[in-house]
Amino acid sequence: MRFFYALFVLTLWAGSIIAQKPQAPAQIQPTGFSPEDFHPAVDLRRATQPRFTAPFPAQTLPALQPPASTGYMQVVARDERGLPIFVKGQLPRDVRREEVETQAMYFLQMNAERMGTTDPETEFVLQKRNTDELGMEHLRYKQFYQGVPVYASELVLHAREGEVFAMNGRYLPTPSGLSVQPQITLESALSLARHAVEAYTAFSPANLPDYLREEDEAELVIFAPQIYLPKGATSMQDESAPLLCWKIELSPNALERYVFFVDAQSGALLHSYKRSCSFLPKGIYELPDAEEEPAGNKQSCSVSRSPSALLPPGPVTAMATDLKGITRTLHVYELSGTYYMIDASRDMYSAAASNLPDEPAGVIWTLNAQNTNPQNGNFTVSHVTTGNNQWNNPTSVSAHYNAETSFEYYFNKFGRNSINGQGGNVISLINVSETDGSGMDNAFWSGTAMFYGNGNQAFTAPLCKSLDVGGHEMSHGVIGSTANLIYEAQSGALNESFADVFGVMIDPTNWLLGEDVVNTAIFPSGALRDMSNPHNGGSGPNDPSWQPAHMNEYQNLPVNAQNDNGGVHLNSGIPNKAFYLFATSVGNSKAEQVYYRALTQYLTASSQFIDCRLAVIQAAEDLYGAGSSEANA
């Protein structure tokens, strides 16, 4: 009976196709797509058509695909607002003949109603288009409202063999009645942000070297925290209603970067967070900072500079012992009889753009902070040098080795040319202290460089002793240059997790992080984090070594500085465990390729855990095929 019923339905479906014009099979709902997930192949550039309804329940229909001439759309996943965050489909045949950018806009138009966007052609502006190693194209769009960018709103459309087939990302349904004319001046907003920074950190002198400087930025944005933050993360009375804000990014010193959202109508500070990425949640195990000098007593930052070259320069190799007592081969630079810890041996090095040794371009460069802190007026950076190519500073050797090894990992595995993918400098600073001169109990990616402390309480050795620490910090830079995951809540936990993922892939001896440097009195397991077992010997959130391993252990922490931006170092245990399970199923070499592809081609700044899962599955399908063991792992 089922066969005959299916045959009857098939006959009805075929008859309806014959009886109608080719572009309008409007009364039949294909199996596998609910009514809201199927749109007809009308030309949305000329007309808006009503949705179709199915004449009988979708689950009773045979598995049929719509005719190729009509196209279809399927929502793979929705966010907590009910909005599609991953859509797959096929465009109408005539549209598939168009250029990819035209197809992408048509794809957006076909999904506009379910997305709640009124005019995709003006709201979504192409920011980047790239072709990957498989020949697939990926187009990244940023959302705008009346010419103002929507913060954290980004969509990526994907094309295979010249045909757009998928879209993913997070966005804002088109606002209604929102004014984009600010009542608060930029100067007032900047003043408020600077006062907020001064409450808990210090501004460094203005003559900070360019290679450690990130310029301050300010722009008007539409701020809609519901795109990526949990409820209650901001001081907004109604977080479901987007507001016009001044987004201000300040780097008060070489180590820190802060982001502020100031209501452009009322002048209220709605939200802020620290963007600098650390290996350990800052402040949890550290000694209190010493009382700072009054601002008027601050001295200028000094940067030791070297004499001009007198003899022909050149890259050379060196053999040196690191903090583990292992002899490493390093690449350094000889100039006028002095050897600098500058690796200019890579293809990315630009002699024409360099003024060595102080202004290199395209190098791996290790510097000495001489036990000073960027927040203090005496912050000093100097070259690491020797007169005979004999290196007796194992801390600098470890840091330089970490950077070279991490660079080679990304270049050899993925063809990535440095942190920014464009041959930019890779800079490491050793001997960074706390503001009171004690050893800094952490390592940081500042946005421009890696900063290594020498340990204090949580760590018993300079953090650069551990290769996975160096790989972790450099990976933060790669993340910032690709998906640029916002360093708060779930997107921030993903930022930390991907840094851990590539940290352990760069140092693949085990699934531990920081095992070479942690204080076992604080971390009895002997590691800061364990990707194979995020509980790591702890019994709950009050144990410093513990992380959640599953979503049923997720910690809903306030999104503020006191709670590590919503627990970015804590909740990263969940995606960490997911990677471990995936890698042990398919092997490290396949897992790292899938995750790098997910990071660079699918994730966006506001991605959440579910977005990561979808990105990993799609990346695995791209590389190994739909239904493959890798995609099903």
Enzyme catalytic residues? 473, 569
Separation of alpha carbons 140 and 181, rounded Å: 27
Q: What is the DSSP code string of 200-257?
A: TS-PPPTT--GGG----EEEEEEE-GGGTS-TTSSS-S-TTS-EEEEEEEE-SSSS--
At CA 394, angle to CA 393 and CA 396, rounded to 5?
A: 75
Nearest to 340 by CA among 387, 291, 393, 375: 387
| CA–CA distance, 467 with 505 (Å, rounded to integer) | 10
Strand duo 327-335 + 529-530: pairing: unpaired
Burial of 88 (0-12, 13-18, 19+ CB in 10 A): middle
In DSSP notation, 553-574 reads: G-----SSGGGHHHHTTTTTHH
- Environment class of residue 627 by beta-carbon count within 10 Å: exposed (0-12), middle (13-18) or buried (19+)? exposed
Q: In angstroms, rounded to a whole number, what is the distance separating the alpha carbons of residues 11 and 302?
A: 83
Contact 256, 276 (CB under 8 A): yes
Cα–Cα distance between 45 and 561 in angstroms, integer? Answer: 47
**Three-state DSSP class for residue 54:** coil
**In angstroms, rounded to a whole number, what is the distance separating the alpha carbons of residues 3 and 295?**
84
Q: What tokens does 566 get?
A: 């919503």
| CA angle centred on 504, ends 501 and 508, rounded to 5° | 135
Crossing angle of helices 588-597/573-586, nearest 10°? 130
**What span, in angstroms and rounded, lies between the C-alpha atoms of 517 and 463?**
6
Question: What is the per-residue DSSP string for 476-504?
Answer: HHHHHHTT---SSHHHHHHHHHHHHHHHH
Q: Phi first, then psi: give them for residue 329, nearest 5 degrees.
A: -95, 120
d(Cα 121, Cα 582) in Å, to the nearest integer? 39
CA 269, 273, 277: angle at the middle one, nearest 5?
165
CB-CB contact of 129 with 90 (8 Å): no
CA atoms of 532 and 573, how far apart (whole Å): 9
């396949």: which residue's tokens? 590
- Show the tokens assigned to 26: 């409007």
DSSP H stretches of helix in 94-185: 100-110, 112-115, 120-123
381: Cα separation from own chain's centroid = 28
